[in-house]
Chain A
């Protein structure tokens, strides 16, 4: 009984799947799916070559500081960094006084309640505060940005495939819409107010090119020349740190743990061989 029932159920599912396959294949052959501009012109991120790649990679603190500079002078005008606190900047090599000064001088005030009047007002930030958001809420953010809300950047490099390279490629990837694309897909002209960028999933991005000129940010003595490429690389490195601040702890702990485990496993293997030495198995 079980086997007869199973046979019938199997025949039903397998049979209908094969029928569906044939119907689908006929439809596929008679009416192949139309190619899309996204599929043909979307590009995978370019490789920037970061210091933190690989199992032994470390953050380059000078680069993170430069990236933070780019973030604070350019990105932070529109983008929030809500999961990062000012005190976290100590990991970039700033001392306590510097962190305090960065927090105090941050151009966006931290919303708080006035302790005397109870009114909601902004105050200077402290190291324990998270980075305050540039807009009071999403409606304000959308209104100021052509109806697109600038996403929070704390986790951006983990929220995209190959995120660090993605951020770098996106910032440096703006270009005019290729003539070839318009010839092939005349209907997908980049709409007014959007910007063509082959690294963006649907090719048209609301964000205007943020880094446009060499020297847009002034780097300190002894730092590389602030070309657009360099600034993009630096800010991508900074955003990798904001997304994964414990990366260096993780990798160094990993090396120690693996070292321990290799020895422990070798010992376990030897005792296994030793115990079984007399038994054929």
Chain B
């Protein structure tokens, strides 16, 4: 699809030939994730997380559909129907724990996927559309996860729903009508629970659709790689299958091992005990916290403690929280450095690791109670977060002197560990390799 030397689909079995002539679906799969998609040969394990994200979505859809067969989306029975799944449905406990922890693991792999994109600047031309569609998926995921967390109708479900929909109430004039309209009432209740269930069932399929666009957009320029140097010829690539299917298979094995440890041996470790208490509108929990994957954004929301003239602090917090995600959409145009990979950007690299530490600090503060010193720490951390993307990144691009780039992917690979064991006799690859060590 992306390169002229890509393998072409030639059905051998008569049945496949018959199908291919009428519906070229096997051809599509072959070109998307089969031997028909040439991929840079030097991808490291950070490139596993795209496939793992897709895997996590599949786990969520399968376990979710099974649980929906036993769940009652009604405020009177929601909590006890979840307990019914846990106690009386065959392997129901497995489905629910896999779904609850699957959400966490989905976010873990997606955050690592985004981390990869940020470090190697995968968002830069010509892959801006891949990045933008990825952010759309991320937003959809957050909405889906938030609504899913409301469904068990525990204390954190209820109060989380109240706090998050309350954010819309911060909008001047129209805020409160919007909040009431979103909830179908003045507080979370049956109307909210029902629509959240409906949307929670719908959005994963929308995500699946946007993933197709995401992969489609990726296949136009082809995958990026750790050097950030574009593919120059057939010697730079290997076919996706069997090379990266094998590598992803191993990655999936590691993913499943860690996932199994969480599901079977610590299924409630990432959850909040309060959600095992049935929702009670008359009793507010001591600390209302969202799930861990929202903590950095929750910290930004709560970091605004003073009104800015006529803008109330709460509205500022809401604006900042949405801005903290929306600014990522502008990243391809903020970071104007022509060099992609952080490996060749000494100044960028330093600030990048500060950003990672900064987001971890924000996450910690977001999970902590809203008291000092956590609020002050999150103010500093949130200030850096905005400064990093909106001020520092464009400046780095202007002032940084990047390290010399390798001439090609193949060259960087060969310079890594001696020249013996050349890349000859690689099936599916061209033969016009340049001499080893050519600089």
Contact = CB atoms under 8 A, between A and B. Distances in A.
Contacts of B268: 158
A186 B195 CA distance: 50
B274 interface: yes
Contact of A258 (B87, B238, B260): B260
Given A250-B94, A258-B264, A159 B276 contact: yes
B404 to A, nearest CB: 21
B192 interface: no
Contacts of A18: 379-380, 383
A161 B246 contact: no
Nearest to B264: A254
B274 A275 contact: no
B265 A13 contact: no
A278 interface: yes
Contacts of B413: 280-281
Main secondary structure of the interface of A (DSSP, over half): helix
Contact of A17 (B238, B263, B386, B414): B386
Interface in B226-253: 238, 242-243, 246-247, 249-250, 252-253
B246 A268 contact: yes
Interface in A179-211: 201
Residue among B80, B261, B264 facing the most chain A CB atoms (10 A cut-off):
B264
Interface stretch (A4-12, A44-52, A69-77, A105-113): A4-12
Nearest to B80: A83
Contacts of B242: 275
Residue among B304, B383, B389, B423 facing the most chain A CB atoms (10 A cut-off):
B383
Contacts of B416: 280
Interface string A233-269: 0000000000101100111011101100110110011
A23 interface: yes
B343 to A, nearest CB: 15
Residue among B97, B250, B389, B413 facing the most chain A CB atoms (10 A cut-off):
B250
Contact of A280 (B83, B264, B391, B421): B421
A55 B265 contact: yes
B303 interface: yes
Interface string B82-95: 01001100000110
B402 interface: no
Q: How large is the interface on A (under 10, 10 to 19, 20 to 34, 35 or more residues)?
A: 35 or more
Contacts of B390: 6-7, 9-11, 13-14
A216 to B, nearest CB: 28
Contacts of A245: 87
Interface in B283-326: 286, 303-306, 308, 316, 320, 323
Contact of B306 (A13, A19, A264, A271): A19
B357 interface: no
Contact of A268 (B249, B267, B276, B371): B249
Contacts of B274: 159
A203 B242 CA distance: 62
Interface in B35-55: 41-43
Interface stretch (B70-78, B110-118, B174-182, B327-335): B327-335
Given A159-B274, A272-B250, A10 B387 contact: yes
A212 interface: no
B369 to A, nearest CB: 10
Contacts of A271: 246, 249
Contact of B250 (A16, A249, A251, A269): A269
Contacts of B260: 254, 257-258, 261
Contact of A2 (B249, B253, B330, B371): B330
A24 B83 contact: no
A279 B426 contact: yes
A254 B259 CA distance: 11
Contact of B382 (A17, A250, A276): A17
A21 B83 contact: no
B24 interface: no
B60 to A, nearest CB: 18
A97 B46 CA distance: 59
B257 A20 contact: no
Interface of B: 41-43, 80, 83, 86-87, 93-94, 97, 238, 242-243, 246-247, 249-250, 252-254, 256-257, 260-261, 263-265, 267-268, 273-274, 276-277, 286, 303-306, 308, 316, 320, 323, 327, 330, 333-334, 336, 371-373, 375-376, 379-380, 382-384, 386-387, 389-391, 394, 413-414, 416-417, 421-423, 425-426
30 contacts: A6-B330, A6-B334, A6-B391, A6-B394, A7-B391, A10-B387, A10-B391, A17-B379, A17-B383, A18-B379, A19-B306, A20-B306, A21-B376, A55-B265, A151-B277, A159-B273, A163-B273, A254-B260, A258-B257, A264-B253, A265-B256, A268-B249, A272-B250, A275-B246, A276-B243, A279-B426, A280-B414, A280-B416, A280-B421, A281-B43
Cβ-closest 8 pairs across A and B: A254-B264, A10-B390, A265-B253, A159-B276, A17-B383, A21-B379, A13-B386, A14-B383
Given A271-B246, A279-B238, 13 more contacts: A3-B334, A14-B383, A158-B273, A161-B273, A163-B273, A251-B264, A254-B263, A264-B253, A265-B250, A272-B249, A275-B243, A279-B41, A280-B41
Interface of A: 2-3, 6-7, 9-11, 13-21, 23-25, 28, 33, 55, 82-83, 88, 151, 154-155, 158-161, 163, 201, 243, 245-246, 249-251, 253-255, 257-258, 261-262, 264-265, 268-269, 271-272, 275-276, 278-281
